[in-house]
Structures are given as C-alpha cells and as structure tokens.
Amino acid sequence: MTISISDPHFEDKTKAIEVLYQVIDPELFVNVIDLGLIYDLNMETEGKIIVTMTLSTPHCPMGEAITMGVENALSAAFPGKETEIILTWEPAWDFTRLTEEGKRQLDIMS
C-alpha cells in the first residue's frame, strides 16, 4: 500500500501504517503491513478509519485475532475515532503481496 504525499490524510495514514507494523500474524509472526494484508486506509469520513484488508486465506484460523489486532491498534492510536474493518477477498492474497522485509522474515527469495 502506498500513500501519496499530496493525500490530505497523509500524516494520519502514515501514523496508522506505523501502528499497524505492530500487529503480528500469530501464525506467520510477520506484521500485517509486511504481509501485504492491508489494501487501503480511508479517513475521508470524519471520526472514522475504514480499513480494507484481507487475510492469507478465507478460512484463516487467526482471522479474528488479526482483525481485532488491527482494530485495537488503530483505536489506541486514534482515540475518539471509530475503526471499521472491511474484509475482502479480491484481489486474493498471495506471496507477491509481501514486502521485501516480509519475504526476508519468511525466508522467501524474490
């Protein structure tokens, strides 16, 4: 996920991404940013953060823990803002969504 410096919410989105680096997938032990699970952060609605994300599989046994981790992290960083999680399966997650750091942590060559 990339954010344009001209985005009016650039600072808040940057802060949100930094916070989401702390949310770890309990099975893979890699954060949700480096796994490429976060597709979009929408802060257009006053008082609300809408996160569009996916999981590694639709039946991920840790899915609830991961989404709750995202919600809890953002709620702590942005008190007073509601966090809404939208789970999507399009596009489906695959290993090409990993960052270079995610590949390194999972010992996957580019």
CA distance 44 to 14: 15
Residue 29: the pLDDT is 94
Q: How confident is the model at residue 77 (pLDDT cuts 50, 70, 90)?
A: very high
Task: Give the separation between CA 27 and CA 4, rounded to whole angstroms.
Answer: 32
Domains of the chain and CATH, by start = 10-98 (3.30.300.130)
Q: What is the pTM of this model?
A: 0.93
User: What pLDDT shows up at residue 110?
Assistant: 59
Residue 107: other Cβ atoms inside 10 A:
6
Q: Is the peptide bond before 61 cis (omega within 30 degrees of 0)?
A: no
Overall average pLDDT of the 3-12 stretch: 94
pLDDT at 25: 95
Nearest CA to 14 among 27, 22, 4?
A: 4
pLDDT score for 109: 75
Question: What is d(CA 101, CA 61) in angstroms, rounded to the nearest whole number?
Answer: 24
